[in-house]
């Protein structure tokens, strides 16, 4: 048994020793107990989130920092890994329906989402960026919120919520994945795509027609966390310990740099 499981098992034992009541006995078994028993870790991931959990069109395989880290978590638990595909607009319902044990795809931890699910300690963070076509009339961030400017965001993303409250003059449209917001810009169906740091990595690597615009001051810097269904504090404690462990032993930095996300690592 590895060190993480030994520590977690001790926590469970202490909880039962000091809180052994009929009410406690009726509580559901923690996933930290049921996952090793079943021999399988079910991880929800969004398959179109570049550098996080993105399906390589050439190989058909998922790639990204959380693809690598989900394998590390399964290894710590000594179980098989099963990926369950989801979207930002549906992951909360998927977790609540027990379709997966954890969401590992750089989920922005917002107060609105925290009313329905529980977040781990943050491991990444990002602000907002604007993507425009090279040669666009939009030259700086202040040009985004102007009459006639068409802004697109991904439905269910935290950028979607932020921009709905931020924009006063521009028009905003939520695009339903798996539609690609960059394709909206390329096809002149929109003028601006609002996204986060991983999108900037993709743009610099793949698209010579696109240009990235940063706000004059960081905007809506948001912690990114893993996410679990409510009511299993033992499982959440273990995930927090996992995050602290991979931060301390260098695995988080290793995989962040592998996918060009080094600046996103939370302090």
Domain total of the chain: 2
- Rounded CA gap, 158 and 227, in Å? 14
**With b meaning 16 or more CB within 10 Å and e meaning fewer, what string describes 129-154?**
bbbbbeebebeebebbbeeebebbbb
User: Whole-model pTM?
Assistant: 0.83
In this structure, the answer to whether residues 80 and 15 fall within a common structural domain is: yes
Q: What is the CATH number of the domain that holds 162?
A: 3.40.190.10
In this structure, the answer to whether residues 113 and 243 fall within a common structural domain is: yes
Mean pLDDT, rounded, for 113-134: 96
In this structure, the answer to whether residues 205 and 241 fall within a common structural domain is: no
Query: What pLDDT does 16 receive?
Result: 43
- Residues 232-254: tens digit of each pLDDT: 999 999 999 999 999 999 999 99
- Residues 168-181: tens digit of each pLDDT: 999 999 998 766 78
Evaluated on CA atoms 238, 239, 243, 244, the torsion sign reads negative
Note whether 79 and 36 are within 8 A (CB).
yes
Whether 90 maps to a domain, the answer reads yes
Query: What pLDDT does 10 receive?
Result: 52
In this structure, the answer to whether residues 113 and 179 fall within a common structural domain is: no
- Residues 129-150: tens digit of each pLDDT: 999 999 999 999 999 999 999 9
pLDDT band at 8 (very low <50, low <70, confident <90, very high): low
Question: Quick one: tokens of 186?
Answer: 């390329």
Whether 218 maps to a domain, the answer reads no
Range of the domain at 175: 128-213
In this structure, the answer to whether residues 28 and 100 fall within a common structural domain is: yes
Note whether 180 and 49 are within 8 A (CB).
no
In this structure, the answer to whether residues 9 and 99 fall within a common structural domain is: yes
In this structure, the answer to whether residues 118 and 139 fall within a common structural domain is: no
In this structure, the answer to whether residues 164 and 203 fall within a common structural domain is: yes
Instruction: Give the DSSP letter of residue 245.
Output: H
């Amino acid at each position: 048994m590895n060190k993480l499981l030994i520590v977690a098992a001790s926590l469970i034992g202490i909880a039962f020793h000091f809180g052994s009541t009929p009410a406690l006995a009726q509580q559901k078994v923690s996933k930290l107990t049921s996952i090793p028993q079943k021999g399988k870790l079910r991880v929800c991931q969004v398959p179109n989130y570049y550098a996080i959990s993105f399906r390589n069109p050439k190989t058909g395989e998922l790639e990204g920092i959380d693809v690598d880290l989900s394998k590390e978590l399964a290894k710590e638990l000594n179980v098989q890994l099963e990926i369950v595909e989801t979207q930002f607009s549906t992951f909360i319902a998927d977790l609540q329906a027990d379709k997966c044990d954890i969401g590992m795809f750089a989920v922005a931890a917002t107060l609105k989402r925290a009313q329905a699910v529980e977040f781990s300690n943050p491991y990444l963070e990002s602000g907002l960026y604007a993507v425009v076509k090279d040669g666009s009339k939009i030259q700086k961030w202040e040009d985004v919120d102007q009459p006639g400017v068409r802004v697109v965001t991904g439905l269910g993303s935290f950028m979607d919520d932020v921009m709905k409250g931020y924009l006063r003059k521009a028009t905003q449209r939520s695009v339903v994945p798996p539609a690609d917001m960059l394709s909206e810009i390329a096809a002149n169906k929109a003028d601006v795509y609002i996204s986060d740091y991983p999108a900037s990595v993709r743009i610099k690597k793949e698209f010579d027609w696109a240009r990235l615009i940063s706000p004059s001051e960081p905007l809506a810097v948001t912690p990114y966390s893993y996410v679990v269904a409510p009511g299993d504090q033992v499982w959440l404690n273990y995930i927090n310990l996992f995050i602290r462990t991979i931060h301390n032993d260098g695995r988080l930095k290793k995989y962040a740099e592998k996918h060009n996300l080094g600046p996103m690592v939370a302090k």
